[in-house]
Amino acid sequence: MLGAILGDIIGSPYEFDMGNKTKDFPLFSRGCEFTDDSVMTVAVAEALLDSEGCSDDEIRAKTVDSMQKWGHKYPGAGYGVRFYDWLRSPNPQPYGSFGNGSAMRVSAAGRLYDTLDETRRAARLSAEVTHNHPEGIKGAEATASAIFLARTGKTKEEIKEYIINEFGYNLSRTCDEIRPGYHHVESCQETVPEALTAFFEGEDFEDVIRTAVSLGGDCDTLTCIAGGIAEAFYGIPDEIKEEGRKMLPADMLEVVDRFYERIG
């Protein structure tokens, strides 16, 4: 979860194709800040913590309540227009989105459950409240599955094989092949495979983050997704973890700390 938040913070200055597609950049700079990716990651984590053992309908309801609560706390975090309308709605309904928001907020689902089936169920439910298009659900499930497999000791090749077989993503391109023509796009279809590829090519947590940022595009979200997977596989160096924590407000840190207490 913190890996996803760190990916968001570190990638935030380079969103909207603002970077120069290099791995050589200051990890934390004046432009770094948490965005809607971090806010909604916290919201989903809180909802899943509060709804363990609950029915599908109860999990969806908790997720809606938590996302609206946190969205109202941080209304200027950079939400998309349709999602912002959803946050303000007295009767929020899913709106058929296949945007990458379902994948960027799902990291907690990959860490909380004992089985892959439970992980995928939680990911699906967290997506369905807004991103109920099949591609939106797929992006969330694929991301959470990769995190689950990474934290349970699977190799990168095993993770890659599972993602290809289960979700059909094309993971044949290298980052060098992706990078030149990649641009800002906010769909799961054109964010999740790229984030996965950055994870597969990265050599440690920091290298995954730098590789993801170097691809450009919707950089904070792509790096948020990659960072959540990288944390599960590598862990996070203490100095990076502490620098990121300094950039989060107390109420968000409270949920972060509760989450890590829960997963041990």
Return d(Cα 146, Cα 158) in angstroms, integer. 10
For 59, the domain range is 2-263
Q: Is the pLDDT of residue 183 over 90?
A: yes
Question: Which pLDDT band, with edges at 50, 70 and 90, does 131 fall under?
Answer: very high
Return d(Cα 46, Cα 27) in angstroms, integer. 28
Question: Which pLDDT band, with edges at 50, 70 and 90, does 66 fall under?
Answer: very high
| pLDDT (0 to 100) of residue 185 | 92
Q: Which residues contact 192 (CB under 8 A, 6 or more apart)?
A: 100, 103, 139, 142, 143, 169, 225
| pLDDT (0 to 100) of residue 228 | 98
Element containing residue 196 per DSSP (H, E): helix 192-201
| pLDDT (0 to 100) of residue 94 | 98
Return d(Cα 53, Cα 104) in angstroms, integer. 24
Q: What is the CATH number of the domain that holds 151?
A: 1.10.4080.10
- Work out how many domains the chain is built from and give that number: 1
| pLDDT (0 to 100) of residue 19 | 78
Mean pLDDT of 84-102: 97
| pLDDT (0 to 100) of residue 13 | 94
| pLDDT (0 to 100) of residue 15 | 83
Q: Is residue 163 within 8 Å of residue 146, measured between CB atoms? A: yes
Return d(Cα 91, Cα 234) in angstroms, integer. 41
Task: Provide the mean pLDDT of the chain.
Answer: 97
Mean pLDDT of 142-169: 98
Return the DSSP state at 13: G
Q: Is the pLDDT of residue 16 over 80?
A: no
Question: Which pLDDT band, with edges at 50, 70 and 90, does 148 fall under?
Answer: very high
